[in-house]
Amino acid sequence: MSKTTVGFIGVGRLGFPLAAALADAGFPVVCTNRGRAEEIVARGATIPGDGTARAVAEAADVVVSCLPSVASLEEVTTGPGGVLSAGQVPPLIEASTFSLTDKARIRAEFTARGAELFDAPVSGTPAMVEARMAVIYASGDQGVHDRFADVFKAMSPNYTYVGDFGTGTKMKLVAQFLGMVHVTAAVEAMAYAKLAGLDLGQVAELISASPGAMSGQFKVRAPLIAAGRFEGRLVTVNMALKDLEEIIAYGEELDAPLDLVHIANEHYRKLAEDGFGEADPGKLFDALLGERLVRAQ
């Protein structure tokens, strides 16, 4: 039995390792001619026809999208040459982190064509996806999920079907809520250690081995902070702000407590305004120490 042909739209920072995982698992992958298309073609993928989203949809049994903005999702779905302009519209697994309102609006366009849009955001950095450690929270029609469970599994062995459409985004927002608070706490703890005169390399090593104190974000970022590496290899401040805005907007709808998230958002908003939007959020370490050094003068 031949494997499912998977279309992939959005072969970028996060999408590339997802598409590569599919190709490595032996799935025929077709992609648009944008982003890191040449690299994924070198891994065995092909670019169908004119390389548009419509051409990908017409060549695939199911399509995965992983995109940086709602505008880009609208362009490749409802725009000219988009997925919905295909003669037969396949299910779309939408792996980006956008608001439920935006995803539901675009899903309605798919429903009108008798197709399904699956809400399946990824929780994890590109490096985590590549290491097969990321989690996908898949939500949508159970029957469609069951048909393409092997596709989800190939992209992330840790994927979970979490229920009806929208549940995936809700779960991802909880994960991002904790992730951004933990990042901010790790940065502030390292600044505290620096001001206390401790060796940051030793702090990173010892605290990462302490079950009662360590978080995954501390374990990842403390060594980078100790080494002064803030180039945004994992995620950028701008990307963090996009997720924080989604967390806050939905949290306000729920009347949820958001104190720590608001503090994190204020930190990274100022960092972006100071010109560090493409840096890793760990760059906050320099900003916090700088503020204190100025006050001490």
Active-site positions?
A: 172
CA–CA distance, 233 with 184 (Å, rounded to integer): 17
| Main-chain dihedrals φ then ψ at residue 64, nearest 5 degrees | -115, 135
CA–CA distance, 130 with 238 (Å, rounded to integer): 22
CA–CA distance, 23 with 8 (Å, rounded to integer): 11
* Structure tokens given for 85: 């302009």
3-class SS at 165? coil
CA–CA distance, 107 with 77 (Å, rounded to integer): 10
* Cβ neighbours for 287, distance < 8 A, ≥ 6 positions apart: 267, 270, 271, 274, 276
* Cβ neighbours for 39, distance < 8 A, ≥ 6 positions apart: 11, 16
Angle between helices 216-226 and 167-195 (to 10 degrees): 40
Question: Are residues 278 and 236 in contact, defined by beta-carbon separation less than 8 angstroms?
Answer: yes
CA–CA distance, 220 with 122 (Å, rounded to integer): 18
CA–CA distance, 79 with 113 (Å, rounded to integer): 15
